Amino acid sequence: MVSGTIRYTEQDFALSQTVISPARTIPLWQGTCAIACLGAVIGYGSVTLLSEVLAQALPVLAQYTAWGAVCGAILLVSVGAWRLSTKLSPMQQASLQLQQSFLLDENGLQLSTDTAETRMDWAHFLAAHIDSDFMILKTRDGTVVLLRPAFVADHATWNEARKIVGRRVPVSSGAQTL
């Protein structure tokens, strides 16, 4: 039996997303270039379409099709940058302030706070990713439990937790299978 206290940090959310995410990540510069090109095509196409539709009313609009491409690229890159800089969800914010106790034994995992308690049998978990610095458990309903060595008393307790999870939950070899 292993017990400890969970205190999540913002880095824990990023870590769990990197391990669980089935999508292949691309470098930021490649994403920025792709978004800028898409924005340029959309902006250029929009201004070209408008200039054809409004040719009699606004003949000068045809001269500004290149500016439509520039504005479209700037707009989409700005939206992409905003999306990358968004804050944590309300649930993640609450998890940062909430302290949970956990109990890990041969029967399953029990999580408890001051106001609630949850017991999950090992059959409820689909997969686990076990590393020396963390364990990520994915449940049947898609929720994730992240455990780190800092959540338990000592290294021996952490090793015991890893053994229990390794015996009871199918362990994935990589992030793509979680």
Amino acid residing at 56 = Q
Buried b (16+ CB within 10 A) or exposed e, 11-38: ebbebbeebbeeeeeeeeeeebeebbee
> What domains are defined for the chain?
2-23+89-177 (2.30.29), 28-84 (no CATH)
Summarize pLDDT for 75-97 with one digit per residue, the tens.
888 877 666 655 666 666 666 77
Q: Which residue has the tokens 């500004």?
A: 64
State the pLDDT at residue 45: 79
State the pLDDT at residue 91: 62
Q: Sheet of 125-130: strands edge to edge?
A: 125-130, 135-139, 144-147
Question: What pTM, to 2 d.p., does this model score?
Answer: 0.59
Q: Spell out, as residue ranges, where the chain has pLDDT lower than 70.
A: 14, 16-26, 28, 54-62, 64-65, 81-95, 173-178
Of 126, 121, 156, 150, the closest CA to residue 138 belongs to 126
- Sign (positive or negative) of CA dihedral 42, 46, 52, 53: positive
